Amino acid sequence: MPDTSSVPTPTRAGTTRTLLRLLPFVRPALPRIILGMVAALLAGLVALGIPLVLQALVDGPLASGDSAQVWPAAIIVLVLGVLEAAFIMARRFFVLTPGTHVEAHLRTTLYTKLQDLPVAFHDRWQSGQLLSRAMSDLGLIRRWLSFGVVLLIVNLVTIVVGAVVLFFWNWILALVFLVCSIPLWIYGYVFEQKYSVVARRSQDQQGDLATAVEESVHGIRVLKAFGRGKHSLEKFTRQADQLRGTELDKARAIANIWLWLLLVPDVAFALCLGGGVWLVANDQMTGGALVAFFATATVLRFPIESIGFLLSMTFDTRTAVDRLFEVLDSPNPITDPTDPATVTEPRGRLTFEGVHFRYQDAGPDVPDLVDGVDLELEPGETMALVGLTGSGKTTLTALTTRLYDVTGGAIKLDGVDIRDLTREELRRRVAMAFEDATLFSASVRDNVLLGRPELTPGSQEADAVLAEALEIAQAEFVAELPDGENTTVGEEGLSLSGGQRQRLALARAVAAAPSVLVLDDPLSALDVDTEARVEAALRRVLATTTALIVAHRPSTVQLADRVALLQDGKVTAVGTHSQLLATNDHYRYVISSLEPDNTREVEK
Amino acid sequence: MSVTGVEGEERGDYTRDESRQIRARSRRLLGSLLRPVRGRVILTLFVVVVSTAAQVAGPALIALGINEGLPAALEGRFVPLGLAVGAYLVTGVLGAVLIAWYTMLSARVSQAILFDLRRRVFLHAQRLSLEFHESYTSGRIIARQTSDLESIRELLDSGLNGLVRGVLYMAFIGVALVVFDPVSALVIAASLVPLAFLTRWFQTRSQRGFRATRVASARLIVKFVETMTGIRAVKAFRTEKRNDAEFGDLVEDYRDSNAKVIKLFGIFDPGLILIGNTAVAVVLLVGGFRVIDGGLAIGSLLAVLLYTRRFFDPMEEMAMFYNSYQSAAAALEKISGVLEEEPSVPDPVDPVDLWTARGALDFRDVRFAYGGDRTVLPDFSLSIPAGQTVALVGSTGAGKSTLAKLLARFYDPTAGTVELDGIDLRRLHPKDLRRAIVMVTQEAYLFSGSVAENIALGKPDATIDEIVAAARAVGADTFIDKLPDGYDTDVNKRGGRVSAGQRQLLSFARAFLADPAVLILDEATASLDIPSERLVQEGLTTLLADRTAIIIAHRLSTVSIADRVLVMEHGTIVEDGTPADLIAGTGRFSRLHAAWKDSLV
């Protein structure tokens, strides 16, 4: 379980305290939930009232043979029965809507929080684990709120009231009944300890299994290319088998509690039967009271039996709440400042001042990934970032929009530390295109105009921006799609080739009309012809926009006014392409394809 | 009209025939899942029958105690009472122990079924062609394997238990009532009529409701997964608020469809209680008169009342069953739909073994069209002798990648054949095909696990030395050595910590380790920096010396290691020759090459 191990296990608080954490979300629904409980309680009390009538009937008219009294008794029982049904209906009516609203509220809160949490968090958490929280855990919480907790409390109260009634019929029998149920409560406690551990393990393993499923689908091309379907099936089978083992452990725990839950009332019934008949024989109790005692005890059986199920549901829910708050409690180190600054005159000057970055979990002897970068991009300047794989280029670009925060130094946009800007403003001013272009399930139009929410969809201006961006990115293939720019792409739509996706991602960054454009190797999947055309068009945009471009190829570098050479997390040289080519050996090694033998000699 | 596979999955308006067809399909699947465990199912059923009978005996024994034991006790004889109490104890203990056993048995059965189903869907999803995956999308296939399986698990875990025990309970009580007091049994029988109407009403209404719930939840999942996997783009383009709004709507749809279903329960459940309580009142009325007449003993009246009350107890649980049954049935319908999809690239029925492939490739009159109408390769023939390294050049959409996909058998040709060593790929044993032909694409996916595990995907039984050697051969060892735990470093979600270029190096190492007879590289070096690419190419020259290779690359640097260059245009080969010949000529390639040369420094 790669993921669960990397997530710190929180110290386990008590079940009640954990569940109470839901309170802020439940509060608006609380009145209705309480009303629901009241209704359920009334239903329980009414059900307990029926034996009273029975006792009166048995000891009265049935003993005396007064058949006229049978009718009223039956009618009272009927009225009580109708009342019980009405109260149960009321309970459902009260509890239904708030439960679903709480679930919906929790779900949107979780989603909002997840969107807010930094990329570093998402690096650590597999989306399968997140999905199982958003779907099954929240569904469980809803069912528990609108059903589990209501019935748990109401059934407990019903049991207490019922016990009092039993004492009212006969204290000796009631005592027998209660003493017999003591092992039940002891076992219930043991059960909590055992079950919550297994329940947690089961939920985690389900999350891991979901991750395995997800990877097998997303990585299907690799699996097919290597014919490793069988291999991944074996791994999946192992995981599914582990889950099966856990589920069986869970069933064992449930079987045990069932054993006690059924055994105890039955033993109690048997003893009460012997005792009761003996008491009646000795005139210590009326026959009617004995009948009523059993009728009451029978009404109590179901609440007692349901306790086990409701308890396990409660512990499941507690685990779900734990898992939910693991996410909601995650600190977000990348937040908006309390008193945000703003760039009053956006010109597009981007400055790196002694920038350091390292991953939190990097070992102490590992040097910083970005190790003191000083770099200044003048307004309108295009700077290419060149360096070997792993020299920190992509990381440096991710720092500019605070996908990660610098761990030392500062990045400034027009003289303002980017941490003093709201993330909204920063990301409005700095637009990115990633190498692995992500498209969302939406039309080409919406995907390209993603960074321009202020444009009215379908307006002339929006169309103009769209057309221009597509033209610059040489995405003329859009016209040939089934519905042109209205074609749905992404997860739920048409799948595009890597080059096509990359061009749309580039168009998206261009359409955002930022003051700074950050492009992470934006042309890697394009063929030479297209690349040349994109470059020609890009020049128009880059003439007026500050740009930072990660480049692997000389052709891309030639878009730039200046080049910064990144080596082991440091900028070791800045200059024009031809300057560096003439003076810097490492630069030649990195960028030049010609005469590899010579350059390698020099490198050595 | 008929619906096959996943067709029309999101529709809610099936015709009668279509519904029947879908239900039959689900039933077949269910049957095939139950068959292997039928022995255990029978044992489980036996245990639950006995245990329920023991439980139902309770009120009868109470009646016995009161009717027989009480008069005897009044006379000072306690034996009948003792017998009744003893019998009660025995049945009580037996019932409880058997129920516990039954719980374990049924868990074993349901877990076995789930395990089987999980594996089947997983395997089938793997067998389905890329064409299917590209149109069905990952979100939906994930939903099939997660949330749909979850609802089946719920059915098996709790719902089915409730149903089986409930039905048995009611049946045994019915029998007990007939034995004790046939008149009361008639009352109960009469109450079955409104019960049937209520259940029928509930069934028709809830079926529609649950379908809507499944559709809504699937949409929710797609949106959720898409946001989380694309979180960088979400942040970079500030779509959080818009996503919130959109997701909020989806959540509301889901909430709404859930609430509609729960509302039905709000009527169904109290309805059941009402019927039950009315029956109790009527039994009391009818019984009361007969007790006065002396036609019924008091103890028997008590037993009959207890039975009547308990008769309706399991109905609530059975209503819960209906809840889970409906969603599980909807889930099963969809899962059976996926399982019904025929892989458009099926495994051969009578596979031909090819223990050692030489690597000769032939395209014979191949025509290929996506979805049957978008023709990419109109009529294509090509012969590549074993050991040749071929570079494919041409603009986007010329059909290069299609060619590669046909060779890797991601797709099958619409007409004609693709052959390896003279054997049609469609007839070749999959294990031999995958061992002989390996494709490395630009999109280098990493699985969660260590770096070593990811490389070992090329050869699962590789030793660590072999893995390190493969990494070294492509020059991936330098960056791996710098990782926190070297080869044991976890690559995390989607290779978050590993750059695109490094990912490509890892997937190259995979291919090296796999050691295939034919290697297809589809833009596999696009993200590499020039020194890395150079290193990979050096590795390639040794690697490719004795094997066939198809290299698709936009950068012409690759061409230098090729024996032969093919220039493609609109699905046909327009130039074919050695690099030197083509460069020397005046064709398209020589122009491309000159332009590329100019761009270098």
Residue-wise pLDDT tens digits, B507-547: 888 888 888 899 998 877 777 777 877 777 777 777 777 88
Q: What is the pLDDT of residue A325?
A: 92
Structure tokens belonging to residue B428: 């070749």
Structure tokens belonging to residue B337: 């739909």
Judge whether residue B1 has pLDDT over 50: no
Cβ distance of A114 and B227 shorter than 8 Å: yes
Judge whether residue B417 has pLDDT over 50: yes
Full DSSP string of A84-153: HHHHHHHHHHHHHHHHHHHHHHHHHHHHHHHHHS-HHHHHHS-HHHHHHIIIIIHHHHHHIIIIIHHHHH
Instruction: Give B72-132 as a 3 state SS string.
Output: HHHCCCCHHHHHHHHHHHHHHHHHHHHHHHHHHHHHHHHHHHHHHHHHHHHHHHHHCCHHH
Which residues partner with B322 through β-bridges?
none
Judge whether residue B392 has pLDDT over 60: yes
Which residues partner with A566 through β-bridges?
A387, A571
Judge whether residue A109 has pLDDT over 90: yes
**Residue of B64, B116, B210, B277 best to disrupt the A interface, most CBs of A under 10 A:** B277
Given the DSSP bridges, would you call strands A408-413 and A416-417 parallel, antiparallel or unpaired?
Answer: antiparallel
Cβ distance of B115 and A241 shorter than 8 Å: yes
Task: Summarize pLDDT for A1-49 with one digit per residue, the tens.
Answer: 333 333 444 445 677 888 888 888 888 888 888 898 899 889 888 888 8
Residue with tokens 């230098």: B560
| Residue A282: DSSP 8-state | T
SS3 A73: helix
Range B474-487 average pLDDT: 82
A102-116, B222-236, B468-482, B537-551 — most confident range: A102-116
Range A334-340 average pLDDT: 88
B601 contact residues in A (CB cutoff 8 A): 554, 577, 581, 591-594
Q: Please tell me the total number of residues recorded for chain A in this structure.
A: 604
B600 contact residues in A (CB cutoff 8 A): 554, 592-594
| Torsion angles phi and psi, residue B475, rounded to 5 | 75, 25
With CA atoms as reference, report the closest residue to A587 among A549, A557, A546, A559.
A557
Given the DSSP bridges, would you call strands B437-441 and B518-522 parallel, antiparallel or unpaired?
Answer: parallel
Cα separation, B80 vs B220, in Å, equals 65
Kindly give the interhelix angle for B240-293 and A70-116, rounded to the nearest 10 degrees. Answer: 160
A65 contact residues in B (CB cutoff 8 A): 292
Q: What is the pLDDT of residue A70?
A: 79
Cα separation, B140 vs B563, in Å, equals 44
At residue A491 the predicted structure's pLDDT band, cuts being 50, 70 and 90, is low
Judge whether residue A281 has pLDDT over 90: no
**Residue of A78, A241, A277, A302 best to disrupt the B interface, most CBs of B under 10 A:** A277
Is the ipTM value over 0.90, yes or no?
no
Range B162-170 average pLDDT: 83
At residue A492 the predicted structure's pLDDT band, cuts being 50, 70 and 90, is low
A–B interface: beta-carbon pairs under 8 A: 512
At residue A358 the predicted structure's pLDDT band, cuts being 50, 70 and 90, is confident
Full DSSP string of A283-315: TSS-HHHHHHHHHHHHHHHHHHHHHHHHHHHHH
**Residue of A80, A143, A389 best to disrupt the B interface, most CBs of B under 10 A:** A389
Angle value at C-alpha B570, between B567 and B572, nearest 5 degrees: 55
A325 touches chain B (CB under 8 A): no
Q: Is B271 within 8 Å of A85 (Cβ atoms)?
A: yes
Q: What is the pLDDT of residue B601?
A: 61
Task: Summarize pLDDT for B104-134 with one digit per residue, the tens.
Answer: 998 999 899 999 999 999 988 888 888 888 7
At residue A494 the predicted structure's pLDDT band, cuts being 50, 70 and 90, is low
Judge whether residue B591 has pLDDT over 90: no
Residue extents of the structural domains in chain A: 21-328, 350-439+515-603
Q: Is B453 within 8 Å of B471 (Cβ atoms)?
A: no
Range B249-267 average pLDDT: 90
Which residues partner with A489 through β-bridges?
A442, A494
Cα separation, B180 vs B169, in Å, equals 16
Full DSSP string of A154-173: HHHHHHHHHHHHHHHH-HHH
Range B175-196 average pLDDT: 86
More confident: A116 or B1: A116
At residue B419 the predicted structure's pLDDT band, cuts being 50, 70 and 90, is very high
B164 touches chain A (CB under 8 A): no
Buried b (16+ CB within 10 A) or exposed e, A34-59: ebbbebbbbbbbbbbbbbbbbbbbbb
Q: Is B420 within 8 Å of B438 (Cβ atoms)?
A: no
Of B58, B100, B122, which has the smallest distance from its Cβ to A213's Cβ?
A: B122
Residue with tokens 């020759």: B577
Task: Summarize pLDDT for A150-176 with one digit per residue, the tens.
Answer: 888 888 888 888 888 888 888 888 888
Closest chain B residue to A363, measured at CA: B484
What is the pLDDT of chain A when averaged over all its residues?
Answer: 84
CA distances B439 to A193, B353, B515, B550, Å, are 51, 20, 11, 9
Of A85, A100, A210, which has the smallest distance from its Cβ to B146's Cβ?
A: A210
A341-350, B297-306, B370-379 — most confident range: A341-350
Q: What is the pLDDT of residue B222?
A: 83
Q: What is the pLDDT of residue B394?
A: 81
SS3 A374: strand
Judge whether residue A210 has pLDDT over 70: yes
Judge whether residue A596 has pLDDT over 50: no
At residue A601 the predicted structure's pLDDT band, cuts being 50, 70 and 90, is very low
Of B111, B289, B493, which has the smallest distance from its Cβ to A248's Cβ?
A: B111
Range B322-348 average pLDDT: 82
With CA atoms as reference, report the closest residue to B235 among A42, A381, A117.
A117
Q: What is the pLDDT of residue B158?
A: 75
Q: What is the pLDDT of residue A599?
A: 40
Could you give the domains of chain B?
Answer: 16-340 (1.20.1560.10), 361-599 (3.40.50.300)
Buried b (16+ CB within 10 A) or exposed e, B345-378: beeeeebeebeebbbbbbbeebebbeeeeeebbe
Judge whether residue A113 has pLDDT over 90: yes
More confident: A243 or A203: A243
Structure tokens belonging to residue A227: 């014919």
Task: Summarize pLDDT for A382-399 with one digit per residue, the tens.
Answer: 999 998 877 888 889 989
At residue A138 the predicted structure's pLDDT band, cuts being 50, 70 and 90, is very high
What is the pLDDT of chain B when averaged over all its residues?
Answer: 84
- Could you tell me the CATH superfamily of domain A350-439+515-603? P-loop containing nucleotide triphosphate hydrolases (3.40.50.300)
Q: What is the pLDDT of residue A3?
A: 39
CATH level 2 (architecture), domain A21-328: Up-down Bundle (1.20)
Q: Is A373 within 8 Å of A570 (Cβ atoms)?
A: yes
Q: What is the pLDDT of residue B493?
A: 47
Cβ distance of A85 and B258 shorter than 8 Å: no
Of B394, B460, B592, which has the smallest distance from its Cβ to A231's Cβ?
A: B460
Closest chain B residue to A1, measured at CA: B449
Q: Is A435 within 8 Å of A487 (Cβ atoms)?
A: no
With CA atoms as reference, report the closest residue to B103 among A275, A358, A251, A355.
A251
Q: Is A508 within 8 Å of A448 (Cβ atoms)?
A: yes
